[in-house]
Amino acid sequence: MTLVETLARGAGAIAAYAAVGVVLLIVGFYVIDLVIPGKLSTIIKTERNANATLLATSTLVAVGLIVAASIWSSGGKLTEGLAGTVVFGLVGIIVQAVAMLVFDSVVGIKVRELVKEQELQPGARLLAATHIAIGLITAIAVI
């Protein structure tokens, strides 16, 4: 294989993983949007709500960790790697949403009330750490 072919193949793989990663980030954002009251983009952009921003940010970091681990573990097998990235990314997103609901009912941290607060709340920090931990756990499980 020539250098140009190698570079083209590598660039194509990067583009494919990047596209899957962006789609998963968008899905993660909208799953958080479903769990909280109101439109997440408006709450972040217009209301400048720190709690909603932290929850969305931590979700995206966690999804990024899962995508990176999936790429790492693919062993250069593009089709299998992309499929694994989609599946593992979706599992991670679902687990994060379920964790927010569990924290809501078991621990008593009401996500819907939390994002109505303008000042950054300890519960938002706890849920953000939970999101990132879930991302790390999922990422390590993938590897």
Average pLDDT, stretch 11-31?
Answer: 95
% the chain with pLDDT above 70: 100
Tens digit of pLDDT for each residue in 68-117? 998 899 888 999 999 999 999 999 999 988 888 888 889 888 888 899 89
The chain-wide mean pLDDT, for the chain, equals 92
- The helix (H) or strand (E) run that includes residue 125 is helix 122-142
| Token representation of residue 14 | 């990067």
Write down the pLDDT at residue 112: 86
CA pair distance 93, 72, nearest whole angstrom: 19
% the chain with pLDDT above 90: 70
CA pair distance 87, 52, nearest whole angstrom: 26
Write down the pLDDT at residue 91: 93
CA pair distance 135, 86, nearest whole angstrom: 14
CA pair distance 47, 56, nearest whole angstrom: 14
Is pLDDT above 90 for 59?
yes
Question: Which of 32-36, 46-50, 64-68 has the lowest average pLDDT?
Answer: 32-36
